[in-house]
Amino acid sequence: MSDGRLVYSTELGRIKPEDEQPQQDVKLFKDGHIRIERQTKGRKGKGVMLVVGIDPSEHDLKKLAKSLKSKMGQGGAVKEGIIEIQGDDREKLKGLLVAQGFKVKIAGG
């Protein structure tokens, strides 16, 4: 029943080979723009701005999110390759992203 592979180690925890690591499925757009979307669904009416379309292999999403959150003065998170910023000031967020060299479109209503 055992194929001889190490599955768990008390020093390292669960062991997975490099090729079995899950790849992030990030939505990238063909036009090269990133999108700022507004979402309230599942958040008890509180709105968040979603920054979608940034390639995580080219940019450090955690560093980018941290700088955006501090400049916006709001909280947020990085989930599944999408940066979430609390609130609804998409024009200010767009200005910050354009200043960092991104091509940005505001999507949704």
Integer Cα distance of 93 and 80 in angstroms? 20
Structure pTM? Answer: 0.72
Segments making up each domain of the chain, as ranges: 23-106
- How do residues 10-41 score in pLDDT, each as one tens digit? 666 666 655 544 555 667 777 888 999 998 88
**Displacement of CA 47 from its chain's centroid (Å):** 16
- How do residues 59-87 score in pLDDT, each as one tens digit? 899 999 999 999 999 999 999 889 999 99
- Phi, psi at 48, each rounded to 5°: -130, 155
In the structure encoding, which two tokens stand for residue 98, read together? Answer: 């354009």
Please name every residue paired with 38 in a beta bridge, in sequence order, or none if there are none: 49
Would you tell me which CATH number, out of the four given (1.10.1240.10, 3.30.780.10, 2.60.40.10, 3.40.720.10), belongs to the domain 23-106?
A: 3.30.780.10
Please name every residue paired with 78 in a beta bridge, in sequence order, or none if there are none: 83
